[in-house]
Structure 1
Amino acid sequence: MGKVNQLFKDLMARFGKGAAKVDLILNRNQFQLGDVAEGKLVIQGGAAEQKINKIDVRLMVVIRYDETEYVHAVTSIPFYESFTIHPGEYKEFPFQCQLPYDLMISGHYVTYFFNTELDIAGGIDQKDRDYIEILCPQSLQQVLNALNHLGFREKHDSRKFNGHVQEFAFFPTDFLQGKAEELEFVVAVQPDGVRLLLELDLISFGHEKELKREVFIPNHLLESEDGLVSELKRILEEMAEYAHTDYHHDSHYGHSYHGHSHHGHGHHSSGMAGAVGGFAAGVVGAMVVNEMLDNDDGDDDDGGLEGFFEDED
């Protein structure tokens, strides 16, 4: 009778009932770019002895783009060693994963999770899913804090992937309220500071007008909360002041400004396309474009940052 019961348990385990379980337990679930995710993999034996071929852990990104959800593997951490797990046996393995530096930041349109799969010989594989959050780098967070101080609030559709890079979007609640509808930017985090391509959508005589300006904010200014707030306010006021002109000049930090109407894009070469791609889209962004979105329209950017914004027309 005991042998019959065991045969029944073995059969049920093959179909997933009473099978071994896998659980990835992380020490934390919030990370900065480049952090090491650490924890342990726990295997709990089921009702029958089972052979485990391998354990696969993959970091997955989920991107909502153009009303479609795309899921892609960022990196894989395989455990190729096979072993046998006995009924009720407990096994534990250390886990470590170096997170890339060029991931997009978590938001409503970008999410990440570790997908753990237990490959069971002759049975149904068991899976576990653990969501993590990729936080803004400190230098970028300081910019967000300064904008918040000025009364800009991040929109629900901020941090979305536009097919090239990740965009941050805000609406005014105090400063520039009634004059501006939206502030967007793409960002390149550099060792010596942060480079932004700002796009300010202004209301001018009942028509929307877009103004773009590329600025570089050095580390010493990022470290001064009051100074950063004052500088961002100055830059945005200057953009709004020249809303009715097609004005070009050197800014305080030596970076160019170019205003244009909604239907006219000026040619502005900055050489920063690689830097913005390196942070804001990165390897993941390139894979999304090339493999997930099958974006093969052959459009070329003009060499500057402006091409990274979606053309609303």
Structure 2
Amino acid sequence: MLKNLMARLGHGAAKVDLVLNRNQFALGEFVEGTLVIQGGTVQQSINKIDVRLMVIVRSHESEATHLVTSIPFHQSFTIHPGERKEFPFQYQLPNDLLLSGNYVTYFFQTELDIAGGVDQTDRDYIEILPPQSLQQILLALEQLGFREKHDSRMFNGYVQEFAFFPTSYLNGQVQELEFAATLLPEGVRLQLELDLYSHGREQEVKREVFIYNDQLQSVSELTSFIQEILDEMVQHPHSAYHMEHHYGYHEHHGSGMGEAIGGFIAGAVGGMAVSELLDDDDKDDDKEENEDDEGFLEDLFEEDDD
């Protein structure tokens, strides 16, 4: 009798544990593991198990936790004292999630729904890594001497922004390099922005660049390719914004907007995240900055006419 009462209060109750095969994943990969239910001191009825993928999105001073998706396991069963049950778990990550970083954290929250008792929970953190195509670009920037900033990979309410500072190449000429990325079957579209030092003030230079899959194969060739683009941006900051034809890139007839990094989060919680993360004192400044960036970012969401 006492055991039953204590179990209803959570003491000696059944426990749940999501055991993942690993904790690092690329976009689009399958997360696989095992749901382990360990019986407590008394027999209990389990209504269901819910597994939720959650994301914590931070700004400089605030953070907000949001549901990415819920993966219900609709199977009721009875767990006997000391019994162990295992169920396979699998979930495919979307291709347009934010990548993990200093301002983005993911975890699975697993909840065991116990009939007439206190539900039991488990939390497992995972890391979402850049896809291979984007990783090649990051390696090329590293070869050029760029280092990723602490506040890189922040979510601006629309997409995830990557930010770098020069350590050798362009040091003294460029304060910061930023980009947002869209993944397409043919390659990666980058929205580039350089903050230049110009006569004692900053000057923003923006370009749209499409890098095809065959250009992503060799890091050394990709490094030279990106250097050529950055050199042009520094030497001719007022030239045409759209750079595909200027550089003789293959003409791009894309298949829509593709998978913008962070697009899933933008669609699911973007507006909410921005309102929760921005401090009241910063909203006016950020609003003005977002209006300036609107033209820069809107191309990520426009479908190609072809």
Query: TM-score band (shorter)?
Result: 0.7 to 0.9
- Which of 265, 285, 291 is the matching residue for 2:266? 285
Per the alignment, residue 43 of structure 1 pairs with: 37
In the TM superposition, what are the counterparts of 1:43-82 in structure 2 within 5 Å? Answer: 43-65=37-59, 67-82=61-76
Secondary structure, aligned partner of 2:260: helix
Q: Taking structure 1 as reference, are residues 306 and 38 closer, same or farther at Cα in structure 2, changes over 3 Å only?
A: closer
**CA shift digits 1:275-301 (9 cap, x unpaired):** 37x322322211222444459x9x989
Where relative contact order (Cα < 8 A, 6+ residues apart) is larger, the structure is 2
In the TM superposition, what are the counterparts of 1:130-145 in structure 2 within 5 Å? Answer: 130-145=124-139
User: Mind listing any 5+ residue stretches in structure 2 that lack a counterpart?
Assistant: 277-286, 301-306
Q: Taking structure 1 as reference, are residues 219 and 271 closer, same or farther at Cα in structure 2, changes over 3 Å only?
A: closer
Q: Taking structure 1 as reference, are residues 18 and 250 closer, same or farther at Cα in structure 2, changes over 3 Å only?
A: closer
**CA shift digits 1:75-129 (9 cap, x unpaired):** 2111121111111111111111121112111111111111100011111111001
Correspondence 1:182 to 2:163? no
Correspondence 1:240 to 2:234? yes
Identity, % of aligned pairs?
A: 59
Equivalenced residue count is 283
In the TM superposition, what are the counterparts of 1:96-245 in structure 2 within 5 Å? Answer: 96-243=90-237
Give the drift of 1:238. 1.2
Aligned residue identity for 2:257: A
**CA shift digits 1:255-286 (9 cap, x unpaired):** 69xxxxxxxxxxxxx999x737x322322211
Per the alignment, residue 85 of structure 1 pairs with: 79
In 2, Cα distance between equivalents of 1:138 and 1:282: 18
Per the alignment, residue 260 of structure 1 pairs with: none
Aligned residue identity for 2:98: M
- Which of 10, 21, 26 is the matching residue for 1:32? 26
Q: Taking structure 1 as reference, are residues 249 and 200 closer, same or farther at Cα in structure 2, changes over 3 Å only?
A: closer
Root mean square deviation of aligned Cα: 2.6
Secondary structure, aligned partner of 1:156: coil
Q: Taking structure 1 as reference, are residues 84 and 63 closer, same or farther at Cα in structure 2, changes over 3 Å only?
A: same
Q: Taking structure 1 as reference, are residues 209 and 307 closer, same or farther at Cα in structure 2, changes over 3 Å only?
A: farther
State the TM-score, normalized to the length of structure 2.
0.85
Per the alignment, residue 275 of structure 1 pairs with: 257
Secondary structure, aligned partner of 1:305: helix
In 2, Cα distance between equivalents of 1:284 and 1:148: 27
Larger Rg: 1
